[in-house]
Amino acid sequence: MDEKDIRILTAIARDGTASPDEIENATGIPKSTVHYRLNQLREAGVIENDLYDINLEKVGLSITLISEIWAEFGEGYHDTVGEKLAAVEGVNQVYFTMGDTDFVVIAHLANREMVETLVEDYESIDEIERTSSKFVITTVKDEQNPLNDFDVETLVTALAD
Amino acid sequence: MDEKDIRILTAIARDGTASPDEIENATGIPKSTVHYRLNQLREAGVIENDLYDINLEKVGLSITLISEIWAEFGEGYHDTVGEKLAAVEGVNQVYFTMGDTDFVVIAHLANREMVETLVEDYESIDEIERTSSKFVITTVKDEQNPLNDFDVETLVTALAD
Amino acid sequence: MDEKDIRILTAIARDGTASPDEIENATGIPKSTVHYRLNQLREAGVIENDLYDINLEKVGLSITLISEIWAEFGEGYHDTVGEKLAAVEGVNQVYFTMGDTDFVVIAHLANREMVETLVEDYESIDEIERTSSKFVITTVKDEQNPLNDFDVETLVTALAD
Amino acid sequence: MDEKDIRILTAIARDGTASPDEIENATGIPKSTVHYRLNQLREAGVIENDLYDINLEKVGLSITLISEIWAEFGEGYHDTVGEKLAAVEGVNQVYFTMGDTDFVVIAHLANREMVETLVEDYESIDEIERTSSKFVITTVKDEQNPLNDFDVETLVTALAD
Amino acid sequence: MDEKDIRILTAIARDGTASPDEIENATGIPKSTVHYRLNQLREAGVIENDLYDINLEKVGLSITLISEIWAEFGEGYHDTVGEKLAAVEGVNQVYFTMGDTDFVVIAHLANREMVETLVEDYESIDEIERTSSKFVITTVKDEQNPLNDFDVETLVTALAD
Amino acid sequence: MDEKDIRILTAIARDGTASPDEIENATGIPKSTVHYRLNQLREAGVIENDLYDINLEKVGLSITLISEIWAEFGEGYHDTVGEKLAAVEGVNQVYFTMGDTDFVVIAHLANREMVETLVEDYESIDEIERTSSKFVITTVKDEQNPLNDFDVETLVTALAD
Amino acid sequence: MDEKDIRILTAIARDGTASPDEIENATGIPKSTVHYRLNQLREAGVIENDLYDINLEKVGLSITLISEIWAEFGEGYHDTVGEKLAAVEGVNQVYFTMGDTDFVVIAHLANREMVETLVEDYESIDEIERTSSKFVITTVKDEQNPLNDFDVETLVTALAD
Amino acid sequence: MDEKDIRILTAIARDGTASPDEIENATGIPKSTVHYRLNQLREAGVIENDLYDINLEKVGLSITLISEIWAEFGEGYHDTVGEKLAAVEGVNQVYFTMGDTDFVVIAHLANREMVETLVEDYESIDEIERTSSKFVITTVKDEQNPLNDFDVETLVTALAD
């Protein structure tokens, strides 16, 4: 993958569309090039289906961290701290929970420098009092569409009016 | 949402495509109906963009649980147990971690009965010794495409060859 | 259950009596209506016996949370914080304990919005430093009269002078 | 309080009624005596209102324990263990929870011998692997009717159809 | 035991002697009375041997608490806090430890009011940040002379020059 | 201290008396020697008062360990395990507690070999599942007579009939 | 670094000597080559001084893990398990401790595959019940000669006879 | 070992060389004496090989402590606190980790007074909020050269370009 590939993939992610025209608009890369590159990325398995789902391992974001975050308790703190966490680069999911942790955060990163940057970004958020991060050895499952987590009949029973 | 909507959304998730032809093949619902329904779902915000990302809250999977799972330690146990966890209905992400928990599992569910079923599904996996689940009060962030977690320049620096 | 039912049930709870006269005084609902409604509530199982015990599930308070609360340690803090916790809506039991938690609090709530309000109410109590709440999956037993927890002979032995 | 008082109070608890006739039937104590004793118990504050709510401290059950219980994980274990816990004398509430404890149990007891008996009763339940009990120093609140935990308007909003 | 007994026992503890003359000096109780009372206390098992060891249960100090205490970390804090803990009434042993607790404290008390007083005494020590107390169900062993914890040959090997 | 000193001190501890006659009987050391040695030990501060209390540091038992012990849960286990713990050399106090530890054990030892022996003695008790020991840095207080932990007036109020 | 460099460095480590003759004997690499390579490694900072201390980062072992290990409690288990841990490739230090962990293990590894291998090696040791590993972000200090941890005067005072 | 031995060993550690000339320069001890002493230390096993590795037990640093350290969270705190920890006498390794502890520190000490000094040194670092130290019972492995932790073929595979 080179810079062009990354700009194309990012444009798809930003705009929620894979239309070559829009990608050309967003990146300045001619749409014929866009078309050619997308085919290559698809063949390499970086892009996984018609919906342009990303293969994390292949795109190079091969490190996953699960962090527990405790913040200074106070009125409305879960909103303000939650937003600051969500804005940290690499942070993919932020959950405010009812158990003995305030936030559970999942981040995908490319290398060790990014791990150190993430830790420093957490340190720079004033309200945070403590963090504890687990390194993921194996991602057994990370399904992009939650509907795939169910048998279709279960969904019909649970969700249909 | 009625049964037809759910079957259409599930077909998209299964096949990784939103082509009306393929959806008709998979569901038996005429493609004109498919087309009409998809527009309605898009307007209602259930489908979020051209890539057919799902809005969890709107689709009715409004309960999120983060579970820590400890299993009986033994050779190769993280593969066998990991696969059994991945097969439980509602389980969206399964991580085998290096810290003091074996697995961290994230599930999206529609209602309280599904919570009880999930707990019973965990109980029926022999190797599991203990589980501890946190109820998510607020999902601050759950970004479907991890590339959106970064500034594009950061990605270029980290990922380009 | 409609508003009248709720006002009647609340009046019984407030005044510790089920006299239709007193309920009419407290609510302004004519005692004949009170009489009729109470019979209906008894038949529906909302009221459980002659002593007007409430069925939590049927009255709609179907969510139970058990919270551990840690407060800033200081002279007399367990009185002041205890009272503030007792005043939070939905809080049913507050115990100041000798173990590694300051307070154990049990609350019954009707829905998810009330869970968020409860968490915010805790956040607004200055002295509180941390809370950790467990979601109850099944209430196996919640006996309103503790004498029913014993064989009568055990009580005679233990309590009679 | 003597044995007669205790038998009368227990009959009320068992049958959910304070009718002197029924109490005479259940206990063999003449209803005139029942009547007289109930007045005395009410004056002493053992009985608290027309609904015959019990004052735990005055009835002599002045020790409260909150126990966390971990049981051997297995299919359906939460039902079988839950029922065994509910059957232990003195146990008033049994909750099966989603957090890092299987059960939270609250018991009211009269004296130290009963504490030892309770611990031995837990030990004799095969599936139990560990217990940890907290001694309650002060019961700040233990409201018998959960409707009293709310402002009436909150209940109307939350519960009325 | 009446007040005289307690004053005599306390004088023995204070002065490290059981001489009737010294006890008369310390308490004003005539030595003939002292002599007579000591015999009675010995027969009742309150005093256990010629060295006047005390039977805790018989003297009425039947409640034992083991507390873990965390204090504000700072230069020399273990001396100042240790002394304050040692001065709390009922506190019998104070250990400053190397593990995850600052102090382990053992106290013997007579009744529940004294438990509450102890907790309040801890609360009034500024540097203390948290306490966690365990209630002792059974004291399996509490040997007053540590030499009795060994076989004499072990002691000769370990301690003789 | 030599072997004779240790045998004399141990005889006092065993028999609960300091009578030179009884010590001669127990040890075979002539009572004139006993008399002379006791004076020397008193001057050296090994013996602390007329009641022959021992100074742990001076007698050479300068290491104190506080161990938490978890045993296999089962009917009556706290009796059998408690007795086995009490029989381990060096173990001075054994408490069966209500909190998240089964036993708290305090031991006084002379040197590092004895620490290893103690750990091995714990390992050889079948029912024990886990131990965690804290090394005591400073013994702030270890009062041999618990009556010295109180003001005499507090004792009179709490203990006198 | 190529294979020759690694064989030379390993020979030094194995034999505790940097004599070119012995290295030639051990590796079959001519001593002139050995001499030349050692100079290059010293210039690159892989070898740090005349004592041939290794720079972990430069030699490529840039990942450090600190693992806590709990094993099945039993007679002599700390010897057998300790030796098995010491034999795992990459394990540099193994400590059997007195606190709430059985073993603390430090390992240096080169890449993520080696992390997975290490975890699998732990899993294959029967007596191990649980492990918890921390990823080291920064090694602030790792002094190869412990005498460098002290002022020389401190050492003279503490160690000289 | 006397003072001269210690000064010679320290000079070797400081300068990373065992050249008698340099040791004479650093210590003022004539190089013939240096030569003679080194032979003696080698025979006694204090020095272990041609690379002058130190035997911790024989040099008298027989106590090992593993400490977990939590510091006040804040921007850049891991650098400043890490350096302060590294400067404490006796501290041999300092790791800043990703898990629920900030720092893991390993120290080698000669006696109990040095343990107390270490604890006081930690107390005097302002940013430190809590420490928990484990006493090492047995050092199963402490390999000075990490290359010895691997089979040479493993190293070739992992490290060779």
Classified as helix, coil or strand, D126 is coil
Using CB atoms, list chains with 3+ pairs below 8 Å to chain D.
A, B, C, E, F
Mean pLDDT of G1-11: 93
Mean pLDDT of H91-101: 92
pLDDT value at position B96? 95
- CB of D99 within 8 Å of a chain A CB? The answer is yes
DSSP notation for A63-105: EEEEEEEEE---TTHHHHHHHHHHTSTTEEEEEEESSS-SEEE
pLDDT of chain F, 161 residues: tens digit per residue: 899 999 999 999 999 988 999 999 999 999 999 999 999 999 999 998 889 998 999 999 989 999 999 998 888 888 999 999 999 999 999 999 988 889 999 999 998 889 989 999 999 999 999 999 999 999 999 998 999 999 999 999 999 87
Tell me the percentage of chain C whose pLDDT exceeds 70: 100
Classified as helix, coil or strand, D141 is strand
Per-residue pLDDT band at G113 (split at 50, 70, 90): confident
Q: Output the six-digit token pair for G105.
A: 């293990």
pLDDT value at position B103? 97
Rounded to the nearest angstrom, the minimum Cα separation between D74 and chain A is: 23
Classified as helix, coil or strand, C9 is helix
pLDDT digits (tens, 9 = 90+) for D20-48: 999 999 999 999 999 999 999 999 999 98
Per-residue pLDDT band at H160 (split at 50, 70, 90): confident
Instruction: Spell out which residues of chain G touch residue F131, defining contact as CB-CB under 8 Å.
Output: 73
Give dist(CA E47, CA E39) in Å, integer.
9
* Mutation site for H-interface testing, chosen from A72, A117, A127, A133 by largest number of H Cβ within 10 Å: A133
Rounded to the nearest angstrom, the minimum Cα separation between G97 and chain F is: 9
pLDDT over 80 at B161, yes or no? no
Rounded to the nearest angstrom, the minimum Cα separation between A30 and chain B is: 18
DSSP notation for H55-78: -HHHHT--EEEEEEEEE---TTHH
Residue positions counted in chain G: 161
Mean pLDDT of C104-116: 92
Look up residue A53 and give its amino acid.
D
CA nearest to C101 within chain E: E132
pLDDT value at position H151? 93
Instruction: Spell out which residues of chain B touch residue A103, defining contact as CB-CB under 8 Å.
Output: 140
DSSP notation for C95-138: EEESSS-SEEEEEEESSHHHHHHHHHHHHT-TTEEEEEEEEEEE
Rounded to the nearest angstrom, the minimum Cα separation between H100 and chain B is: 9
pLDDT digits (tens, 9 = 90+) for B89-115: 999 999 999 888 899 999 999 988 899
Q: By the 8 A CB rule, do G65 and G83 touch?
A: no
pLDDT value at position A97? 93
CA nearest to B72 within chain G: G129
Per-residue pLDDT band at E75 (split at 50, 70, 90): confident
Mean pLDDT of H122-134: 93
Spacing of C-alpha C108 from chain mean position: 6
Using CB atoms, list chains with 3+ pairs below 8 Å to chain H.
A, B, E, F, G
Give dist(CA B97, CA H90) in Å, integer.
34
Look up residue E90 and give its amino acid.
G
pLDDT value at position C99? 83
pLDDT value at position D99? 82
Taking an 8 Å cut-off on Cβ atoms, the answer to whether F131 and G73 are in contact is: yes
pLDDT value at position A7? 95
Count how many pairs of residues, chain A against chain H, have C-beta atoms within 8 Å.
28
pLDDT value at position E1? 85
CA–CA distances in Å: residue G23 to residues B34, G4, G12: 76, 11, 7
Per the model's pLDDT, the better-predicted residue between F93 and A18 turns out to be F93
Q: In what helix (H) or strand (E) does residue E67 lie, and over which residues does it extend?
A: strand E63-71
Three-state secondary structure along B87-151?
Answer: CCCCEEEEEEECCCCCEEEEEEECCHHHHHHHHHHHHCCCCEEEEEEEEEEEEEEECCCHHHHCC
Which residues does residue D59 pair with via DSSP β-bridges, in sequence order?
none
Which residues does residue H104 pair with via DSSP β-bridges, in sequence order?
H68, H95
Taking an 8 Å cut-off on Cβ atoms, the answer to whether G131 and B77 are in contact is: no
Please name which of H86, H13, H95 lies closest in space to residue H46, comparing C-alpha atoms.
Answer: H13
pLDDT value at position H35? 94
Residue in the structure block whose two tokens are 């709720």:
C6
Mean pLDDT of H126-135: 92
pLDDT digits (tens, 9 = 90+) for C135-153: 999 999 999 899 999 999 9
- CB of F21 within 8 Å of a chain E CB? The answer is no
Mean pLDDT of C78-85: 94
Pairing between β-strand E128-142 and β-strand E63-71 as defined by DSSP bridges: antiparallel
Per-residue pLDDT band at E77 (split at 50, 70, 90): confident
pLDDT value at position C28? 95
pLDDT over 90 at H74, yes or no? no
pLDDT value at position B82? 96
Taking an 8 Å cut-off on Cβ atoms, the answer to whether E115 and C98 are in contact is: yes
pLDDT digits (tens, 9 = 90+) for H22-73: 999 999 999 999 999 999 999 999 998 889 998 999 999 989 999 999 998 8
Look up residue A4 and give its amino acid.
K
Q: By the 8 A CB rule, do G38 and G97 touch?
A: no
* Mutation site for A-interface testing, chosen from G111, G112, G137 by largest number of A Cβ within 10 Å: G137
- CB of G78 within 8 Å of a chain F CB? The answer is yes
CA angle D76–D79–D85, rounded 5-degree value:
135
Q: Output the six-digit token pair for H10.
A: 């320290």
pLDDT digits (tens, 9 = 90+) for E30-53: 999 999 999 999 999 999 888 999
Please name which of B136, B25, C4, B96 lies closest in space to residue A137, comparing C-alpha atoms.
Answer: B96
- CB of B104 within 8 Å of a chain H CB? The answer is no
Instruction: Spell out which residues of chain C touch residue D65, defining contact as CB-CB under 8 Å.
Output: none
CA angle F32–F33–F39, rounded 5-degree value:
95
Instruction: Spell out which residues of chain D touch residue B131, defining contact as CB-CB under 8 Å.
Output: 73
pLDDT over 90 at A76, yes or no? no
Stretches in chain D below the pLDDT threshold 50: none
Count how many pairs of residues, chain E against chain F, have C-beta atoms within 8 Å.
236
* Mutation site for C-interface testing, chosen from E102, E123, E125, E135 by largest number of C Cβ within 10 Å: E123
Q: Who's near H19: CB < 8 A, 6+ residues apart?
A: G50
pLDDT value at position B38? 95
The mean predicted confidence, pLDDT, of chain B is 92
pLDDT over 80 at E161, yes or no? no
pLDDT over 90 at B118, yes or no? yes
pLDDT digits (tens, 9 = 90+) for A100-144: 889 999 999 998 889 989 999 999 999 999 999 999 999 999 998
pLDDT over 80 at A161, yes or no? no
Instruction: Spell out which residues of chain F touch residue C99, defining contact as CB-CB under 8 Å.
Output: 99-100
pLDDT over 90 at B10, yes or no? yes
CA nearest to E117 within chain C: C76
pLDDT value at position B78? 85
pLDDT over 80 at G142, yes or no? yes
Tell me the percentage of chain B whose pLDDT exceeds 90: 77
Instruction: Spell out which residues of chain F touch residue H137, defining contact as CB-CB under 8 Å.
Output: 115-116, 119
- CB of E99 within 8 Å of a chain G CB? The answer is yes
pLDDT over 80 at A68, yes or no? yes
Within a 10 A sphere around the Cβ of D108, how many other Cβ atoms?
Answer: 26
Q: By the 8 A CB rule, do G110 and H159 touch?
A: yes
D129 phi and psi angles, rounded to 5 deg? -105, -25
Taking an 8 Å cut-off on Cβ atoms, the answer to whether G120 and B74 are in contact is: no
